[in-house]
């Protein structure tokens, strides 16, 4: 327990002073306690109370001891009460002072703890300040390094940009050169194809023949090399075999052994190596035109030939124009004649159609007048006339003979169109002659028909 707790316990457990005096009177009815001894005991008690080692019980025990030794008077009792009261006040003062001391000690301890804590905080704060200073220094140093690195990176970036620009310019230059070279290559290819087209075929045959000869010569040289190597290998093998046979011959000597050796170790025939293939040296065929003068001479000869061909073409075109004019005139003249003939034939066809229509109408209108046999005879005569006209056509229509009168009329019309086209291609003089002969024949036919009709009328 602390000092304050001890003092409080003493005050609580302290007995009543009247009880103490009664007990003292009862126990010690005689004798007085010397004042000096009481005071000395009180001093000792005070000293012990100040030191923190005495208590109220010890004081009471001392009083009991002195009371037992001597009897106490009333005056002394009163003085004892006063002393006890003083003692109590003194205890209270001591209690207050001890409480204050304890509080002061607590406050001192708290202040010391706070001082230590503050010192620790100060040390931690100083450490934090040092760390923060170091951090600021590091950050400043890092910032400077970052600025330097950024400047370096910026410089490197500018250098790379300039390098990229230079490379782009170089690339553009290379691309332009490639395009120019490509165009030059295409132009050279066109010129090469043009020169190869001008080269005579005999030159190509000769170059192919020379190339095949060179390939054959290279093949022969390779075959000879292979044969030489094969002979060397065979010679080595023969030498080894002869060495082994000589060793055997030294062991066993016989007369017929050398002959056997010669017969056994003959070198076989050299192979032909026909499997060797022809190879190309990838050499380009030389051009036929090796010098510009050859090309100029060739162009001069070609120009002369072209001039001759141009003249002949012009003459042919002139003659063709003349023939076209003649043909056009002949077509015009023949067209007129054929048109006249076509018109005449159309008129005839029209009259025939009108006649047939009239006959049909008569048959329809006066069926009760004509007899069936008469109508049949007229139709048969018409059919005979059409069939005779159809038979007078070309053999194609004869082969395709039919009994249908409409088909025969269509064939006759087609044949008339073909005849008109042919008449358009005939010369003018012949057409005139044919027209005159046809007109004369028509007049004669008309005259005959008229005479026949007149004779029939007279008979009637």
Query: How confident is the model over 23-40, as a mean pLDDT?
Result: 44
- Residue 74 CB contacts under 8 Å (≥ 6 apart), including other chains: none
231-286 confidence digits (pLDDT tens): 888 788 887 777 777 777 776 665 544 444 444 455 566 666 666 665 655 566 66
Across 43-57, 142-156, 344-358, 406-420, least confident range: 43-57
> What pLDDT shows up at residue 203?
79
- Per-residue model confidence as pLDDT tens digits over 181-200: 999 999 988 888 887 777 77
| CA separation for the pair 16, 317 (Å, rounded) | 173
Q: What is the pLDDT of residue 327?
A: 82
How far is residue 457 from each of residues 149, 345, 452, 453, 460, measured CA to CA in Å? 141, 29, 9, 6, 5
Q: Which two tokens stand for residue 313?
A: 């073409």
Question: Minimum mean pLDDT among 2-11, 77-86, 287-296: which range?
Answer: 2-11
Average pLDDT over residues 158-176: 92
If you average pLDDT over residues 402-419, what whole number do you get?
78
| Angle, in degrees to the nearest 10, between helices 74-198 and 17-27 | 140
CA distances from 5 to 1, 8, 11, 47, 99 (A): 6, 5, 10, 19, 9
Residue 224 has pLDDT above 60, yes or no: yes
Comparing 16 with 169, which gets the higher pLDDT? 169
Note the pLDDT of residue 400: 53
pLDDT in tens, 279-322: 655 566 666 777 778 778 877 888 888 888 888 888 888 888 88
- Position 170 scores a pLDDT of 93
Q: Is the pLDDT of residue 67 over 60?
A: no
What integer pLDDT is reported at residue 399 of this predicted model? 44
pLDDT greater than 80 at residue 127: yes
| Three-class SS of 123-179 | HHHHHHHHHHHHHHHHHHHHHHHHHHHHHHHHHHHHHHHHHHHHHHHHHHHHHHHHH
Q: What is the DSSP string of 260-328?
A: HHHHHTPPPPPP--TTPPP----PPPPPS--SHHHHHHHHHHHHHHHHHHHHHHHHHHHHHHHHHHHHH
Cβ(421)–Cβ(339) under 8 Å? no
Q: Are the beta carbons of 223 and 272 closer than 8 angstroms? A: yes
Q: What integer pLDDT is reported at residue 252 of this predicted model?
A: 67
Is 168's pLDDT higher than 90? yes
Q: In the prediction, which pLDDT does 363 show?
A: 63
For residue 178, the model assigns a pLDDT of: 93
Find where tokens 């009664």 sit. Answer: 22
In whole angstroms, give the CA distance from residue 383 to residue 390: 10
pLDDT tens digits for 364-385? 655 444 455 666 777 788 788 7
The ranges assigned to domains in the chain are 3-134, 202-264, 326-426, 436-460
Q: What is the pLDDT of residue 158?
A: 92
Q: Say whether 403 sits in a helix, a strand or coil.
A: coil
Pairwise pLDDT comparison (133 vs 63), residue with the higher score:
133
Q: What is the rounded radius of gyration, in angstroms, for the C-alpha atoms of the chain?
A: 81
Between CA 12 and CA 29 the distance in angstroms is 29
Q: Do 289 and 200 contact (CB within 8 A), yes or no?
A: no
What's the pLDDT score for residue 12? 42
Higher pLDDT: 228 or 281? It is 228
- Phi/psi region, residue 286 (left: phi>0; alpha: psi -120 to 50; beta: rest), is beta
- Is the overall model pTM greater than 0.75, yes or no? no
Q: Tens digit of pLDDT for each residue in 325-342?
A: 888 888 788 778 777 777
Q: How many CB atoms lie within 10 A of CB 363?
A: 15
Residue 389 phi/psi, 5° resolution? Answer: -65, -35
| Under 8 Å between Cβ of 428 and 330 | yes
Q: What is the pLDDT of residue 1?
A: 45
């Amino acid at each position: 327990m602390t000092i304050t707790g001890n003092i409080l316990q003493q005050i609580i457990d302290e007995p009543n002073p009247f009880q103490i005096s009664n007990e003292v009177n009862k126990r010690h009815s005689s004798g007085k306690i010397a004042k000096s001894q009481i005071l000395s005991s009180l001093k000792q008690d005070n000293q012990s109370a100040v030191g923190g080692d005495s208590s109220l019980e010890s004081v009471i025990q001392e009083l009991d001891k002195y009371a037992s030794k001597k009897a106490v008077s009333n005056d002394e009792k009163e003085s004892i009460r006063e002393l006890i009261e003083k003692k109590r006040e003194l205890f209270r003062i001591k209690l207050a002072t001890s409480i204050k001391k304890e509080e002061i000690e607590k406050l001192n301890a708290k202040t010391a703890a706070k001082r230590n804590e503050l010192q620790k905080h100060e040390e931690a704060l100083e450490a934090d300040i040092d760390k923060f200073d170091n951090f600021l220094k590091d950050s400043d140093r890092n910032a400077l390094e970052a600025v330097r690195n950024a400047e370096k990176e910026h410089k490197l970036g500018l250098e790379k940009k300039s390098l990229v620009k230079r490379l782009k310019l170089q690339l553009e230059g290379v691309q332009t050169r490639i395009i120019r070279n490509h165009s030059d290559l295409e132009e050279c290819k066109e010129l090469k194809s043009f020169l190869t087209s001008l080269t005579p075929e005999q030159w190509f045959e000769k170059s192919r023949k020379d190339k095949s000869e060179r390939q054959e010569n290279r093949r022969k040289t390779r075959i000879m090399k292979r044969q030489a190597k094969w002979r060397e290998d065979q010679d080595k093998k023969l030498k080894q075999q002869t060495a082994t046979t000589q060793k055997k011959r030294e062991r066993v000597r016989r007369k017929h052994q050398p002959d056997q050796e010669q017969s056994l170790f003959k070198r076989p025939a050299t192979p032909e190596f026909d499997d060797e293939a022809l190879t190309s040296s990838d050499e380009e065929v030389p051009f036929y035109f090796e010098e510009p003068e050859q090309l100029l001479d060739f162009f001069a000869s070609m120009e002369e030939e072209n001039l001759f061909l141009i003249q002949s073409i012009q003459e042919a075109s002139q003659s063709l124009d003349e023939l076209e004019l003649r043909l056009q005139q002949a077509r015009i003249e023949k067209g007129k004649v054929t048109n006249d003939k076509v018109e005449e034939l159309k008129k005839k066809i029209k009259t025939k159609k009108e006649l047939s229509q009239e006959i049909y109408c008569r048959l329809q209108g006066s069926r009760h007048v004509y007899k069936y046999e008469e109508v049949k005879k007229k139709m048969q005569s018409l059919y005979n006339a059409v069939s005779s006209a159809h038979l007078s056509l070309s053999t194609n229509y004869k082969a395709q003979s039919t009994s249908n009168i409409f088909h025969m009329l269509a064939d006759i019309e087609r044949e008339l169109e073909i005849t008109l086209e042919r008449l358009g291609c005939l010369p003018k003089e012949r057409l005139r002659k044919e027209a005159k002969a046809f007109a004369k024949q028509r007049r004669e036919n008309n005259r005959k028909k008229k005479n026949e009709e007149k004779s029939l009328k007279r008979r009637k």
